[in-house]
Amino acid sequence: MTTQVQKANSFTALHVKGSPIILFNIWDAGSAGVVANAGAMAIATGSAPVAMAHGFSDGEKMPFEQALTNAARIVASVELPVSMDLEGAYAVDPSGVAANATRALETGVVGFNFEDQIVGSSDLYDVTTQAGRIAALRSAAEIAGVNAFINARTDIFLKSAPETHSETMLDAAIERAAVYAGAGASGFFAPGLKDEAMIERLCAEVDLPVNIIALPGTPSNVRLAELGVARISYGPVPYKRMTTWLADAAQEALGSLT
């Protein structure tokens, strides 16, 4: 059986600029098995689909204990590396981040999405504060002996409509990426960014592997690879497509005798 340490190393190696790892985000052990059987190289949760599948809204509304139990069940259900969307680590101060990251690693996951938005608000942590939080997460991984992949997310672009994205915003993202890398981040996640030129510049000027989410209106996966992206994820898209189908099928069945 492949160990957690081995899975962590292999997961990190899958992040290659221009040859991205595809992460079709899942929400529970059942969906993880489906995606694994479809040929996935790794498994990744998304906080929104995990929460919604368990009757909660996104934004750390799902109890942490329940999120950990769900992660452990996913890890046990597949042989692939599993990355967990840790949101803001259910903590503000670095000590809390480290403690919760340690508990998450105990489930067997090998990576985290870790966001810089202050959960429950529309604000971002200042870059220095968030760097300290990333450093705490990295320290926890080192103590655990796992080279966890910390996918440092910035919500700069997700907070505004794509047509308003500017070079100033991109400059701020690039600055954050550099600071986050210095604090121990393994990758840089810019959800909501869709402009080809901006994605290309981000990939060129950021040393970390860049993650783009395949939301409607985002360039194709082939084009994202050409732009230098190293990780393509799907976030809540698979879950929302599944629930749309479920609603349509249910309505058809329930109305079949009328």
Range of the structural domain that residue 36 is part of = 4-254
Of 183, 177, 186, the C-alpha closest to 147 is: 186
3-state helix, strand, coil in the chain (%, to 5): 50, 15, 40
Backbone angles phi, psi at 83, to 5 degrees: -105, 140
Domains held by the chain: number: 1
Q: Do β-strands 82-85 and 21-23 pair in parallel, antiparallel, or remain unpaired?
A: unpaired
Angle value at C-alpha 129, between 127 and 65, nearest 5 degrees = 115
The pair phi, psi for residue 77, each rounded to 5°, is: -90, -15
pLDDT value for 33: 98
Look at the block and give the residue holding tokens 């994202």: 224
Residues 6 or more apart from 125 whose CB is under 8 A from it?
116, 117, 118, 133
For residue 65, is pLDDT > 80? yes
pLDDT tens digits, residue range 37-63? Answer: 999 999 999 999 999 999 999 999 999
* Residue 225: CATH number of its domain: 3.20.20.60
CB atoms under 10 Å from CB of 200, counted, come to 17
> Which pLDDT band, with edges at 50, 70 and 90, does 258 fall under?
confident
pLDDT one-digit tens code per residue, 130-161: 999 999 999 999 999 999 999 999 999 998 99
| 63/15 Cα distance (integer angstroms) | 30
